[in-house]
A and B are shown apart, each in its own frame.
Chain A
């Protein structure tokens, strides 16, 4: 009888532990799910930005529900805090705890369970049984280590020239560790540079460059606040490989929004310069110069940009001869500048038109 009572007391005591434990576990899971929600919002914003630029290669691959949900969330976010998109993670996190987000959060959970949310990869695995990242659990918390070891394998394949083996291994690496930034960056660089030189046909080359771009886009999906991926896509791929200044400028611009290395801003300014947006480029560099007075690289670029602006002003004023002289100087001063020769030829053409017109008169 006595022992029966004692066991009852211990049972109650055990429950007194187990109930808070299960509540805490729910809380922790809830936090994780909310962080996922936050990631998804950030990622949608990044994706939306790309769509607005009309520069994502394909079409919008989101489901209708996902798009609607995102629109609603953004509307509520804007109404609560006008700079919703620009909030830091912590501020956004606090805002997301507002009651008004509750129905959206629940809807997000539901959609994720139905695999109708595609944009967040890697993190969504537990609600989506189809995602092969369930493999991650098999390695008991050592998935990052496994990803690293597999990455060494990728490196080995590269040195052996086994490109076809590299690709699936690379995919697995980023599935195991969706935040392995260097795997995306280095992988894309391998694909766009080192693999393409092995082929002569332009189609083949484009195929691998595209794969590199996809890899980086996937990385951005999982890490929307990582500047390195944007910078890599903008500079290494679009700027240097493809010569697509417009996309380069967009991605480098995105890269400067998050914590980044100094060169990113210079690259951004350079791509703006190539887009003939000298004023904007100068503004970027002036801002940069204020924050990094110890660096000197930007001084030259700024001087050249001022010269270019002067040439434009002179041209507007009608003194084409003077403008031609400036562009000629710029052309010879830096042979790497692709804009100056073009501008020189344009002014020269204009001048010759003028001369022809004058002689006709």
Chain B
């Protein structure tokens, strides 16, 4: 089975009007996303994420390298190439743009009808598709209101509905949660998980890491057009996670025993006493000690390095 996305040595250079100045937005990028996977594409602003997405969508043409979707490539870089293959390919991708804007004078349903017709849908088929997607994104209640009265979250959901119209195998989402309030953010995240459950491949592009962390299996971090970190989230961020145990109180005797095991004890702001373990492997030894002294264990926490830390560390390393 071919990969959903296969990017090989992709380079994109923008030229100024007369070709005097060049800016490299994407530099020799290699990427691989399997079908059914949720991939997080991360990077600071201006790192080349959007450019990569546009190339994936066939809106931009690469300067060199290739970009295959389900083993196929866009051909329309040649003016005389037939469109049918590209059309089929484009129909298999759904795209949610960053901060989607729709024609303000249309209602949500009309927006979907407009985009649906661009997919060649029509009549009953189109109606059915529209109500299906509206149901998925939970927007039936506001479908006949004008877009200009929509909140940001509602727009985002109509944007998702629009991306789902052709029932695509691959969804490319550009900053799906940016600028939303916590509740809307939560709703969108649930929606993404729902889509994942429907078996879609998700390519999420974001600089809001906490969101990605909660839904993505694999991530790629891009900066200055180059891919600098790439792999499973577990491998990248959860490798050296520390463990912390919170207990109600701690006798001096137990404390000494624990310090002998190289643990660091301290007072937690919640009033609990925290025990920070030197390594994950020490957890059973520590628990044995605590069991022996009948200490009241409140919680055992796995202190992973957050994606945010990873991201900042990686970008800093890159700069250094």
Chain A contact residues, CB within 8 Å of chain B: 2, 6, 9-10
Contacts and interface: CB of A to CB of B under 8 A. Distances in A.
Give the interface residue-count category, chain B. Answer: under 10
A10 B80 CA distance: 11
Contacts of A2: 78
A9 B80 CA distance: 10
A222 to B, nearest CB: 50
Contacts of A9: 79-80
7 contacts: A2-B78, A6-B78, A6-B79, A6-B80, A9-B79, A9-B80, A10-B79
Contacts of B79: 6, 9-10
Contacts of B78: 2, 6
A10 B79 CA distance: 10
Contacts, number: 7
A9 B78 CA distance: 12
Nearest to A13: B79
Chain B at the A interface: mostly helix, strand, loop or mixed?
loop
A163 to B, nearest CB: 60
Nearest to B79: A6
A2 B79 CA distance: 11
Contacts of B80: 6, 9
A310 to B, nearest CB: 84
B205 to A, nearest CB: 30
Contacts of A10: 79
A287 B78 CA distance: 76
Interface string B74-117: 00001110000000000000000000000000000000000000
A17 B79 CA distance: 18
A9 to B, nearest CB: 8
A2 B75 CA distance: 13
B194 to A, nearest CB: 44
A130 B80 CA distance: 52
Interface in B107-149: none
A2 B61 CA distance: 15
* Top-4 shortest CB links A-B: A6-B79, A2-B78, A6-B78, A9-B80
Contacts of A6: 78-80
A7 to B, nearest CB: 10
Interface string B230-261: 00000000000000000000000000000000
A78 B245 CA distance: 120
A9 B81 CA distance: 14
A223 B79 CA distance: 54
Interface string B57-82: 00000000000000000000011100
B22 to A, nearest CB: 17
B285 to A, nearest CB: 68
A3 to B, nearest CB: 9
Nearest to A2: B78
A145 B268 CA distance: 89
B44 to A, nearest CB: 34
Interface string B280-319: 0000000000000000000000000000000000000000
A312 to B, nearest CB: 85
B62 to A, nearest CB: 14
A2 B77 CA distance: 10
A147 to B, nearest CB: 43
A105 to B, nearest CB: 45
B78 to A, nearest CB: 7
A6 B79 CA distance: 8
B154 to A, nearest CB: 44
B73 to A, nearest CB: 15
A177 B79 CA distance: 50
A292 B79 CA distance: 70
A6 B80 CA distance: 9
